[in-house]
Structure 1
């Protein structure tokens, strides 16, 4: 049995708002959850190579971003010993248009040489110098003014150390960073030293060192391994400190306090209820880092401000202009009251927008139910046409008000659903106009 337009409208009003409610949280950058369109001329890639540091070959990879313009670049330094690779974070950073580089310190994971905290610090500095080498800047399209050093756990310490050593580093990301010097306070006698050695032993398997040597280094070089001191030294530049509440968050708060005491003016703190590896907060971690990176690259975040719920109607908004014929749209359907056309940045091929031509309602709160009924009746027809023309097993209706809304004229999204493919609510890449017109022709032919 077919539902009437009025019944469809009532059903939509009853269920749309709770089902599609937006969380009161910062926007998730598209790069966290969606792949970019392929750049055929300058596609992304990966370079694997070795850095020569003090006569040792250090393994490195560089995830190169698409495009031939200079890219901001993030150097990522791994933890102790580096079992958590954080490659998912690096890939998200690359999807956002950044180069992302990772090294394995001397004496770790196949790199030549001996592992030590001192050597790891020097390796981080050498990697920064490599990124700033004019030959590498030209070859890998690196923007030398936007080099960020990031690290997880011990890598957070190493990131702060590398940034402190080179003022050309634009900012630092420290993820549940390990203040190595903090362990020295617990080593007070032979018994506590032996306990520290045994606690460290399982993690030294992939490292060319011994736990005894590392414990001795912590005791000997405590002052050099104090992260709170380093946090103060890098407080003149933007810093992001992220803590895991079930791991190092209390220590991260102390590091942040040290930076604030040193006059930090661009310190961002974030804390998540998760473990040291962010095992159940990976998406949140990636989003947090990319939102912070947006201070160096505004294109990372979804474009445009939030549309206020209550304001005067803007006669120059894009949909008003489309209705007047002042802006090209690829039409699927039009009558005296309603216009349906292709979304210029489709969530899926076949994504259609349905708007009222006669109502000047900015959102669902303002539209007359009779006008909404006409819009929903056409949305129903468009959904059926998408199913018939594209061989779909389903479609989705989305309608945003305020948060998530990009144009202040009520519009209903009719979006094809692909069986087994998840939905990503994110800013999407613009489609080729030729593809939009071809898709519109298919849907138009199936409209009835």
Structure 2
């Protein structure tokens, strides 16, 4: 399930990635005096429809390049908000979409299946990251039907799990023009979960014996899931197909198959996807022969690409800034303008 990436503790499953529920009325229209329009669209595929917003730069005399944004883990609406009062304005996918549209790039962002205006809720219990990649493929197919869009200049921008899904789609579709991975997974999920457990245990100052018990509980659950053992006595979350794929899928195997240009963006303080994973993705892609790989690590930014002191999940409720910095948007925008041959 595109649910919460789990952190296995003694008390069960604790989320370190936010799931965002539905919000009934959200204004997705373009800002006043914007140089682009905002069109509400529906994307069909896989037995249900996805609701989204397509930003189209105004007054273009030729077909436009386009970007599809892909949200991170959790049942996310198209803007990828998170439910902290201090981060009420955190809408990274909207911010990215509007920044790119102002530079001549059309952008499609959609509600995840089963969330917001999208259908497919009855599929969530069996869905995996690969399933969500199929949703992105449906979005790509939709853009290729639009007369305003150049089908050969479509790129993908994914955050967190979305940064893992983007290479899945690009590896299977050579017509994708480029991908941007923002804090995308560079390790198998079981290894990430173990790192996340260590980060969670560190500030608790537990006795060594207690901490080791927590590690053993996590290791036992991961082993049971990976081996296909009977999970009837385990928490419901670990019986989901999403979890098994997450704990067995190696993103480096996929990134080695990507031949399109790749931009890897990472916050140096990220404690959900450690910064070293950006280097792992870069090396794997380059060693496989991809000569167009760019990596940028931003100091003092966390997993949300927001300024932070420690980068820990527990710090989210005290963050002072709720918008992605212009430096991140500029690096991404400059790179995509070149790769997609966009004209503002």
Bin for the TM-score computed over the shorter chain:
0.5 to 0.7
CA–CA distance in structure 1, aligned partners of residues 343 and 46 of structure 2 = 37
The 5 A counterparts of 1:1-20 are: none
Moved over 6 A (4+): 35-39, 187-190, 193-196
Tell me if the contact between 1:73 and 1:146 (Cα under 8 Å) persists in the aligned partners.
Answer: yes
CA–CA distance in structure 2, aligned partners of residues 190 and 106 of structure 1 = 35
Larger radius of gyration: 1
Normalising by structure 2, what TM-score?
Answer: 0.63
2:85 is the alignment partner of 1:78:
no
CA–CA distance in structure 2, aligned partners of residues 232 and 127 of structure 1 = 24
Match of 2:99 in 1: 92
The 5 A counterparts of 1:290-305 are: 290-296=333-339
The 5 A counterparts of 1:44-443 are: 44-68=36-60, 69-81=62-74, 82=76, 83-84=80-81, 85-86=91-92, 87-113=94-120, 114-115=123-124, 116=127, 117-133=129-145, 136=146, 138=147, 141-179=148-186, 181-183=188-190, 191-192=217-218, 211-214=237-240, 216-220=241-245, 222-223=247-248, 225-234=249-258, 236-247=259-270, 248-273=274-299, 274-280=301-307, 282-296=325-339
CA–CA distance in structure 2, aligned partners of residues 49 and 36 of structure 1 = 18
State how many pairs are aligned: 243
CA–CA distance in structure 1, aligned partners of residues 118 and 216 of structure 2 = 32
CA–CA distance in structure 1, aligned partners of residues 118 and 238 of structure 2 = 21
Tell me if the contact between 2:269 and 2:303 (Cα under 8 Å) persists in the aligned partners.
Answer: yes
C-alpha change, 1:108 and 1:251, in structure 2 (3 Å) is: farther
1:302-360 CA-to-partner distances (Å, cap 9, x unmatched) read xxxxxxxxxxxxxxxxxxxxxxxxxxxxxxxxxxxxxxxxxxxxxxxxxxxxxxxxxxx
CA–CA distance in structure 1, aligned partners of residues 215 and 33 of structure 2 = 59
CA–CA distance in structure 2, aligned partners of residues 131 and 299 of structure 1 = 16
Tell me if the contact between 2:42 and 2:50 (Cα under 8 Å) persists in the aligned partners.
Answer: yes
C-alpha change, 1:245 and 1:185, in structure 2 (3 Å) is: closer
CA–CA distance in structure 2, aligned partners of residues 226 and 98 of structure 1 = 31
CA–CA distance in structure 1, aligned partners of residues 221 and 100 of structure 2 = 39
C-alpha change, 1:239 and 1:95, in structure 2 (3 Å) is: same
C-alpha change, 1:264 and 1:243, in structure 2 (3 Å) is: same
CA–CA distance in structure 2, aligned partners of residues 194 and 112 of structure 1 = 36
- Greater mean deviation of Cα atoms: 175-184 or 48-57: 175-184
CA–CA distance in structure 2, aligned partners of residues 127 and 46 of structure 1 = 16
CA–CA distance in structure 2, aligned partners of residues 243 and 285 of structure 1 = 10
**What is the root-mean-square deviation in Å for CA atoms of aligned residues?**
3.1
CA–CA distance in structure 2, aligned partners of residues 111 and 179 of structure 1 = 29
- Unaligned ranges ≥5, structure 1: 1-34, 197-209, 302-448
CA–CA distance in structure 2, aligned partners of residues 265 and 252 of structure 1 = 16
CA–CA distance in structure 2, aligned partners of residues 289 and 185 of structure 1 = 25
1:127 Cα shift? 1.0
CA–CA distance in structure 2, aligned partners of residues 287 and 55 of structure 1 = 38
Equivalent position SS for 1:295: helix
Match of 1:432 in 2: none
C-alpha change, 1:80 and 1:96, in structure 2 (3 Å) is: same
C-alpha change, 1:286 and 1:194, in structure 2 (3 Å) is: farther
